[in-house]
């Protein structure tokens, strides 16, 4: 059989040249699709816009805010159903009260989102970049007058100033005498024989005091009066400072003898204001006179007579009043001119009794920075407070300087094998003292709205 020969011409003849002009189900579909797809897309887009905003691309939310990933609109407030990429401070302030920095002094206040960079993964939002601080602190200006703080701080490694209290003229406001050197020497006489004192016998973190080894057996602690009052502490970090020094918990165990005034009484004077001490003495001697008929003729024990304070021999008392006056006067001199004076600055005035200078031992020194002893517990105390073992005066300032911090904290932190030297590592920005409580606004299902 001969093969049928197909020429191109023959083949071409078989084609229907009107094909594309004839109606066909597929072609009408194509028409419909080209119209419908964009319409559907627009409707879908609009619908999503009305409900959630996942349709926009963005980085993941920070760890603390991840729970709002279904409710972009808690921050991106929608206007007329339209997503707005810009986030206003008022959105953040619905859930946070973060009082602004130096509100009376700044020339302007940056937006929340310019420091707390959202959508950068699980980064801690509060670790802000240094540029968020140096935009002002590299050349500080205030709205009124010249700055009271160092004006040019553009980084930590090189430009950060020495801490103010360690600059010339810095002072220790504390007025309780303490000789660190004397207390840290070996074989110090303790209550039950010689001891070697350690920093932690007197200084422990607030909230971790446990039992103080040299506390008084029974003595109500006097309320401490400290220069850096607790109002200066942000509650969350206050544990990381040292607990205040109290006579009752840190000194009495060894120094109760300095409050003893007369061997005839087991009890020592109360550790309190001179008026309270005086009232205590009057009561004790009055009770003693009533229960000891021979009191008038008892001789005065020689150790009760503070040398140089009296014209000797002491006059012989003739009645209860003269006896009381003499006994109380002897006790007063022994306490106020010796016992109390061991530790206190006693202020003599025209009044019959001296006053005790306010103790003013700072609970916190560096009020313009945060510090955490707990984060540095790996170090010995003298690694930072290196002058302590040789210090003999309360007035010595024993705090470490900025150079010591720089041996570990550096600007690029972990990237140069160091602890972070970011401004936000050590400083607060917000004025937390002014923080107001926030009233919750959401029910649980409202945070789980559809995407
Ligand atoms: C906790 C608050 C918060 C939430 C919740 C939030 N964002 Fe943002 N978003 C921001 C901030 C702040 C910016 C920076 C805006 C500015 O500079 O005003 C931002 C910026 C954006 C931008 C602009 C581009 C960019 O990355 O800078 C997009 C897009 C965006 N967000 C999408 C979303 C989406 C989608 C969601 C929900 C999954 C969402 N956001 C949830 C705070 C938030
Ligand atoms: C719907 C409530 C809500 C909104 C709106 C909101 N936050 Fe938060 N934020 C939270 C919650 C809850 C936490 C976690 C608990 C906490 O630390 O207080 C948090 C934590 C934080 C933290 C500390 C955690 C960290 O990673 O350092 C910062 C900083 C913060 N938010 C800043 C902002 C900023 C800036 C905005 C506005 C862009 C904002 N927040 C908007 C609820 C909200
Ligand atoms: C908008 C400008 C501005 C920004 C941004 C700014 N500051 Fe300040 N800062 C000031 C002003 C103004 C003062 C007060 C100066 C004065 O009273 O002399 C001040 C004071 C301070 C002080 C000393 C007083 C105090 O409050 O303890 C510290 C510390 C401080 N800022 C740290 C920071 C840190 C850390 C940042 C970044 C997170 C920052 N500042 C961001 C303007 C700013
Ligand atoms: C372990 C016992 C012990 C404890 C606890 C103790 N001291 Fe002393 N302190 C001594 C001894 C011992 C002396 C030597 C002088 C003496 O015998 O009175 C002394 C001396 C002093 C002196 C005179 C220092 C000098 O320059 O000679 C002062 C002031 C003083 N102590 C204050 C305190 C204060 C304040 C506390 C509590 C924070 C305290 N001490 C806790 C044992 C102690
Ligand atoms: C061993 C040292 C020591 C002796 C001795 C001592 N005190 Fe104190 N005193 C302290 C310390 C430490 C404080 C600060 C913390 C506190 O309140 O316990 C203090 C605080 C005080 C305060 C509160 C001062 C303020 O800040 O307003 C008064 C008042 C006081 N003492 C009175 C006395 C009197 C009176 C005596 C003598 C009878 C005396 N003290 C003996 C160590 C001593
Ligand atoms: C390792 C901790 C640390 C780092 C990091 C740090 N500071 Fe400080 N800064 C301090 C301490 C501590 C003080 C002393 C505070 C005081 O005297 O109350 C201080 C003091 C200051 C003061 C007050 C200066 C004055 O005149 O007394 C300012 C302003 C300041 N720092 C800004 C900054 C800025 C901006 C950065 C970032 C470039 C920064 N700090 C980084 C610890 C740090
Ligand atoms: C990394 C250095 C560092 C180490 C380690 C360190 N300190 Fe401090 N210490 C500081 C700084 C900085 C301050 C100032 C903090 C403030 O009051 O603002 C301070 C303050 C103090 C104060 C004054 C009261 C207070 O809490 O501010 C005492 C007391 C003290 N330290 C004792 C100790 C003892 C005890 C140890 C050992 C257990 C120790 N420190 C370890 C750096 C250090
Ligand atoms: C007997 C109790 C006692 C012992 C032990 C003791 N301290 Fe103190 N420390 C005090 C008292 C009281 C003050 C407050 C008076 C003053 O400023 O000196 C003080 C103050 C300080 C301060 C405050 C800053 C300053 O300049 O005054 C530092 C830091 C400090 N001590 C570190 C140490 C270290 C480190 C050790 C251990 C090596 C230590 N102390 C051992 C009682 C003690
Ligand atoms: C031995 C090295 C070392 C020295 C010296 C040192 N630090 Fe630190 N510091 C650290 C480490 C490690 C951390 C914890 C790292 C972290 O969490 O980022 C830290 C954390 C901190 C923090 C944050 C604490 C917190 O829990 O929020 C502050 C503030 C700080 N240091 C201040 C100081 C100051 C001020 C000095 C100087 C007086 C200083 N450091 C000296 C190693 C050091
Ligand atoms: C100039 C930079 C800057 C600006 C602007 C800023 N913050 Fe902060 N914020 C910080 C720094 C630094 C911290 C960490 C230190 C502190 O607690 O002050 C912080 C801490 C916070 C925290 C607490 C985090 C924690 O540890 O619990 C919240 C919440 C917060 N900021 C919210 C806001 C809000 C809301 C705004 C806007 C009204 C805002 N911030 C504006 C720098 C800034």
Tokens of 71: 């409710």
State the Cα torsion 435-437-442-447 to the nearest 10°: 40
8 A C-beta contact, residue 385 and residue 400: yes
How far is the centre of ligand 8, averaged over its atoms, from the C-alpha of 423 (Å)?
A: 28
Q: Would you place residue 418 in the very low, low, confident or very high pLDDT band (cuts 50, 70, 90)?
A: very high
Report which bound ligand comes closest to the CA of 198.
8
Torsion of CA 424, 429, 434, 439, to 10 degrees: -70
Q: Is the CB of 232 under 6 A from ligand 6?
A: no
What ligand 9 atom has the least distance to the C-alpha of 240? 26
Probe target for ligand 10 pocket from 95, 96, 429, 438, with the most ligand atoms within 8 Å of CB: 429
- Which of 118, 124, 451 maximizes ligand 1 atoms within 8 Å of its Cβ, making it the mutation to test the pocket? 118
User: Residue 237: which of 208, 209, 210, 206 has the closest Cα?
Assistant: 206
Q: How large is the average pLDDT for residues 225-238?
A: 48
Q: Are 388 and 180 in contact (CB under 8 A)?
A: yes
pLDDT at res. 445: 86
Q: Exposed e or buried b for every residue in 213-251, given b needs 16+ CB within 10 A?
A: bbbbeebeeeebebbbeeeebeeeeeebbbbbbbbbbbb
Please state, in angstroms and rounded to a whole number, the distance separating the CA atoms of residues 426 and 413: 13
User: Which tokens in the block code for residue 72?
Assistant: 């972009």
Assess whether pLDDT exceeds 70 at residue 351: yes
pLDDT in tens, 297-339: 999 999 999 998 888 889 999 999 999 999 999 999 999 999 9
- Convert the pLDDT of each residue in 395-416 to its tens digit: 999 999 999 999 999 998 888 8
State if residue 72 touches ligand 2 by the CB under 6 angstroms criterion: no
Contacts of 247 (CB under 8 A, 6+ apart): 216, 221, 222, 255, 271, 343
Nearest to 279 by CA among 328, 246, 233: 328
pLDDT at 8: 76
pLDDT of residue 357: 96
Mean pLDDT (whole number) for 107-132: 90
Q: What is the pLDDT of residues 166-219, one digit of tens each?
A: 999 999 999 999 999 999 999 999 999 999 999 999 999 887 888 899 998 775
**For residue 336, which of 265, 294, 273 has the smallest C-alpha distance?**
273
User: Which pLDDT belongs to residue 223?
Assistant: 57
The neighbour count for residue 340, using CB atoms within 10 Å, is: 20
- Determine the Cα angle at 380 with ends 191 and 165, to 5°: 95
CA atoms of 284 and 295, how far apart (whole Å): 13
Residue 255 confidence class, pLDDT cut points 50, 70, 90: very high
- The confidence score (pLDDT) of residue 219 equals 57
Task: Give residue 157's pLDDT.
Answer: 96
CA–centroid distance for 105 within its chain = 23
The whole-angstrom separation of Cα 243 and Cα 348 is 31
Of the listed ranges 44-58, 65-79, 435-449, the least confidently predicted one is 44-58
């Amino acid at each position: 059989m001969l093969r049928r020969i197909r020429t191109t011409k023959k083949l071409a003849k078989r084609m229907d040249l009107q094909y594309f002009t004839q109606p066909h189900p597929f072609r009408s579909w194509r028409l419909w699709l080209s119209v419908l797809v964009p319409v559907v897309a627009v409707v879908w887009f609009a619908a999503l816009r009305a409900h959630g905003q996942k349709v926009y691309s963005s980085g993941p939310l920070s760890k603390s805010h991840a729970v709002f990933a279904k409710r972009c609109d808690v921050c991106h407030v929608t206007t007329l159903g339209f997503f707005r990429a810009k986030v206003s401070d008022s959105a953040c302030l619905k859930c946070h009260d973060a009082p602004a920095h130096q509100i009376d002094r700044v020339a302007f206040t940056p937006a929340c989102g310019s420091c707390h960079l959202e959508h950068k993964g699980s980064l801690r939002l509060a670790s802000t970049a240094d540029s968020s601080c140096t935009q002002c602190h590299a050349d500080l200006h205030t709205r009124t007058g010249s700055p009271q703080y160092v004006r040019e701080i553009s980084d930590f490694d090189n430009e950060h100033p020495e801490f103010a209290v360690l600059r010339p003229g810095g002072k220790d406001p504390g007025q309780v005498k303490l000789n660190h050197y004397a207390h840290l020497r070996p074989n110090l006489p303790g209550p039950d024989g010689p001891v070697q004192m350690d920093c932690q016998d007197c200084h422990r973190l607030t909230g971790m005091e446990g039992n103080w080894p040299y506390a008084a057996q029974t003595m109500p602690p006097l309320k401490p009066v400290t220069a850096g009052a607790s109002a200066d502490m942000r509650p969350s970090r206050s544990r990381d400072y040292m607990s205040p020094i109290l006579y009752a918990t840190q000194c009495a165990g060894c120094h109760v003898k300095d409050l003893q005034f007369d061997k005839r009484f087991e009890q020592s004077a109360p550790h309190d204001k001179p008026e309270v001490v005086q009232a205590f003495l009057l009561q004790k001697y009055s009770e003693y006179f009533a229960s000891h008929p021979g009191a008038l003729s008892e001789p005065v024990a020689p150790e009760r007579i503070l040398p140089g304070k009296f014209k000797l021999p002491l006059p012989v008392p003739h009645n209860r009043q003269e006896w009381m006056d003499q006994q109380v006067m002897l006790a007063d001199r022994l306490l106020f001119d010796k016992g109390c004076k061991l530790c206190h600055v006693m202020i003599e005035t025209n009044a019959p009794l001296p006053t005790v200078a306010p103790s003013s031992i700072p609970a916190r020194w560096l009020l313009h920075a945060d510090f955490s002893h707990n984060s540095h517990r790996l170090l010995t105390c003298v690694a930072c407070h290196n002058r302590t073992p040789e210090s003999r005066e309360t007035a010595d300032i024993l705090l470490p300087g900025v150079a010591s911090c720089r041996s570990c904290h550096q600007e690029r932190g972990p990237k140069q094998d160091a602890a972070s030297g970011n401004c936000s590592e050590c400083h607060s920005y917000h004025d937390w003292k002014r923080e107001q409580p926030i009233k919750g606004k959401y029910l649980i299902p409202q945070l789980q709205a559809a995407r």
